[in-house]
Amino acid sequence: MDFSEQLHQAEIRDSLEKILSEHCSQENLKEYDSKFKHDKNLLSLLSRNGYLGLGLNEKYGGSGEDLYDLGILFEQLGYHAAPLSLSGCLVDVAQTMQKFSNERSCKEILSSIIAGEIYTSAILEPSNQDPENPMTTATIKNDQLIISGTKYLSEISSIAKSILISVNSSEGVLLVLVESDKVKLTELTSTANSPLFKVELDSVRISKESIIHEQGRGLEALRYLIQINMVMRSYIALGITEKMTSLVAGYTSEREQFGRVIGTFQAVSHRAADCFIELECLRLVNQQASINLNANLDCENNALVSKIWAGNACHKISYSAQHLHGGMGVDKDYVLWRYCLLAKECELINGSASQNIDRLGVNLTTNQ
């Protein structure tokens, strides 16, 4: 048993903290409130410093396959509300390919991701409750796939070279990389102004070579993608809720009413303490899930537990933080509001807490 971070992990955290706090100043973030939320300069800075290779094998130019390292990156991106949406690229594409693609494709694509090239994924479908069973279909004709369907909440798709798409076919579930210019993209406007897209495929023809995994392993690969995405996004949630909690502690330690600092009222400090407890739980379940994923254990339940805690923490801490800040919490000149909106996206993407409680309940009562 060892809950301590390794030296290199503490270093990753410290230097990311430095880069991001410099780069994600209130002024810089403001600039992205009304435009396409993708900070190219920050991305190339991260790339130059090797942070896009976290969690990837050294042979592709990465810094080693530890998913906890990658978790630190997402936690920090969340903590600083960085204008970068990278889970499609660094998690869905890079991690799934590392596990399921041949070395040649990995060498090509993973090293270009590390160098700052954008890829993304399109997995979720409107009103499909079960992402493991895509409604998007591929018809197999000789060595070609003909794909039709609609995906959404695909990140930064307009600047992605290719999009990893999940489909159902006569050979079962497949994960395929489709060039972005073959699909129809519509930008969606979401609550936190995240760069999300609807992706429509209307009889898109691509080569069978675009399938990223060996024959027969599509479902396994998709399940892995979903699990790891849940866990890494829960690290974003961790960063967001950590920041909100520290804003609460700071604000209520300075704001005075009735001649005293409001943090000295138990009603206030106890609500803050509850945020701290929630946060500690989320941190621990995330750590467990990422470490078990490292060890190749079947982590579906671990991932669901992470997502359930993330969904609840995002909701509870966001509203506690807004409440304890009073009017400041909604004032767009202060920092909190962005985190609250991001928290709502984090809470709902990959399924709400209630939906995942349902999934977990099914697993617990039938798999044993």
Which residues form the interface with other proteins (CB under 8 A)? 1-6, 9, 68, 245-246, 248-249, 252-253, 260-261, 263-266, 269-270, 272-274, 276-277, 280-281, 284-285, 287-288, 291-292, 301-302, 304-305, 308-309, 357-358, 360-362, 364-365, 368
Between CA 156 and CA 133 the distance in angstroms is: 24
Residue 166 or 286: which CB sits closer to other proteins? Answer: 286
Residue 73 φ/ψ, nearest 5 degrees: -60, -50
Sequence-separated (6 or more) residues with CB below 8 Å from residue 216: 171, 172
Contacts 24+ apart (CB under 8 A), 295-299: 299/227, 299/231
The CB-of-135 to other proteins minimum distance in angstroms stands at 23
Residue 164 or 275: which CB sits closer to other proteins? Answer: 275
The CB-of-64 to other proteins minimum distance in angstroms stands at 14
The CB-of-282 to other proteins minimum distance in angstroms stands at 8
The CB-of-158 to other proteins minimum distance in angstroms stands at 37
Between CA 173 and CA 115 the distance in angstroms is: 30
Residue 65 or 171: which CB sits closer to other proteins? Answer: 65
The CB-of-220 to other proteins minimum distance in angstroms stands at 23
H or E element, residue 301: helix 300-325
The CB-of-205 to other proteins minimum distance in angstroms stands at 42
Residue 226 or 285: which CB sits closer to other proteins? Answer: 285
The CB-of-81 to other proteins minimum distance in angstroms stands at 20
Q: Coil, helix or strand for 184?
A: strand
Residue 64 or 361: which CB sits closer to other proteins? Answer: 361
Residue 326 or 361: which CB sits closer to other proteins? Answer: 361
Residue 6 or 186: which CB sits closer to other proteins? Answer: 6
Nearest alpha carbon to residue 182 among 166, 160, 167: 160
Residue 47 or 269: which CB sits closer to other proteins? Answer: 269
Alpha helices (runs of H) in 202-265, residue ranges in sequence order = 218-252
The CB-of-353 to other proteins minimum distance in angstroms stands at 9
Nearest alpha carbon to residue 120 among 76, 168, 77, 85: 85
Residue 85 φ/ψ, nearest 5 degrees: -115, 105
H or E element, residue 104: helix 103-114
Nearest alpha carbon to residue 300 among 213, 217, 232, 360: 360
Between CA 233 and CA 86 the distance in angstroms is: 10
